[in-house]
Amino acid sequence: MLPEFVPDETPLERMSRIFTRFAAHETVRIAPMYGHLSEVVAADPELLELATHAPREPVPNVLFAAVQYLLMKGVAHPLAAYYASIAGDTVRTDDPAPAFQAFCRQYRDEIIHLMQTRLVQTNEVNRCVLLLPAFGLVAQREQGRPLALIEVGCSAALNLLWDYYAYDYGDGRVVGPADAPLRLNTVPRGDHHPPVPDTLPAVGFRLGLDLNPINLLDDDQALWLRALVWPEHRERAQRLEQTIAIARQHPPATRKGDALHLLPDAMAQAPDDMVLCVLHSFVTNQFSDAQRDQFTSLLRAHTEPIYRISIEWLNEAHPRLELRVYQGGEEVEKRLLAYVESHGRWIEWLETP
């Protein structure tokens, strides 16, 4: 979620509010250690000053990832004992704050370097279970024509490999390849069940765009991706390991650079006989208002019809799965399909099938 603007706020006051909000809205009930440490940071001027060196949002994610990356890299420090991702079943359960504060003081320079040179690029592959119903709607409308996928802010482009995974929505069916090494699941809630296709739509073209696409054949880049997974989320970490193995067998094409500069050429490369879909998840929260407007203008300007599938969380209570259609320079359709949990734990479908 985007922090609202508060006039006459000092940098440390704004940073304190960011971490307080992160604790209250993003980690509550699902990441207690990061929630507690966010409150610690919010009240500690030294840690707040450290956090101001992060040049981009979301600051809490990149700070915590930098710390976990150093621990995973092998830095020996008592703080490691509090990370389930490192200590496993022997993880300590007392207050990690003193060790965290000491670690940040000791490795201040290393943390600043990481915050300034790395990006928050969480490839939460379980979000594919949220995207699949939208892909199914597009494929149904286009009578099964293959999809041409372009992902903006792709990171390691693991979401572009969604047709290599199997899916379980709790209705007794498993959709996807019978031999899929990874099964993704979610819990539908609310009055409507998401319209899951019986077979996965065909994909004929896929391309990821990112300022810094992660090359999973590079062990250090893969380690940064692991460090972005919150320590208590051992199931997410296990899914990531399985997905990394799939991506190393089927490496998706990516292109490095500003997506807003790369997008027109990328869209022009999509085969004419395929259905062009531009997808993005938890990306536009890192855009300025002007960049969000530019993004939409680029899609409107494309000569062929475009389906835009997004999961974003700006200032709403929950992330939103939306489907937009652009044609002839206009947005001809906009549908709020579902509210979702940010890591794919649940989906609340809003439309009547």
Average pLDDT rounded to a whole number, residues 217-229? 94
Where does the pLDDT of residue 4 fall: very low under 50, low under 70, confident under 90, or very high at 90 and above? low
Q: Can you say how many angstroms the Cα of residue 47 is from the centroid of all Cα atoms in its chain?
A: 25
What is the rounded CA–CA span in Å between residue 210 and residue 213? 5
Exposed/middle/buried for residue 111 (C-beta within 10 Å: 0-12, 13-18, 19+): buried
Where does the pLDDT of residue 353 fall: very low under 50, low under 70, confident under 90, or very high at 90 and above? low
What is the rounded CA–CA span in Å between residue 216 and residue 206? 17
Q: What is the pLDDT of residue 5?
A: 61
Average pLDDT rounded to a whole number, residues 30-34? 91
The 3-class secondary structure across 234-271, one letter per residue, is: HHHHHHHHHHHHHHHHCCCCEEECCHHHHHHHHHHHCC
Where does the pLDDT of residue 25 fall: very low under 50, low under 70, confident under 90, or very high at 90 and above? confident
In the chain, what percentage of residues exceed pLDDT 70? Answer: 98
Q: What is the pLDDT of residue 177?
A: 96
Q: In this predicted model, what pLDDT tens digit does every residue of 308-332 receive, in sequence order?
A: 999 999 888 899 999 999 999 999 9
Buried b (16+ CB within 10 A) or exposed e, 29-48: eebebbbbbbbbbbebeebb
**How are the residues of the chain apportioned to helix, strand and coil, as percentages rounded to the nearest 5?**
45, 20, 35
What is the rounded CA–CA span in Å between residue 313 and residue 319? 4
pLDDT at residue 217 greater than cutoff 80: yes
What is the rounded CA–CA span in Å between residue 192 and residue 353? 7
pLDDT at residue 195 greater than cutoff 60: yes
What is the rounded CA–CA span in Å between residue 263 and residue 299? 9
CATH of 125-349, one of 3.40.50, 3.30.70, 1.10.10, 3.40.390: 3.40.50
- Joined together, the tokens standing for residue 60 give 């809490």
Q: Residue 58: is the preceding peptide bond cis (ω within 30°)?
A: yes
Average pLDDT rounded to a whole number, residues 175-184? 95
Residue 192 DSSP symbol: B
Q: What is the pLDDT of residue 227?
A: 96
Q: Can you say how many angstroms the Cα of residue 270 is from the centroid of all Cα atoms in its chain?
A: 24
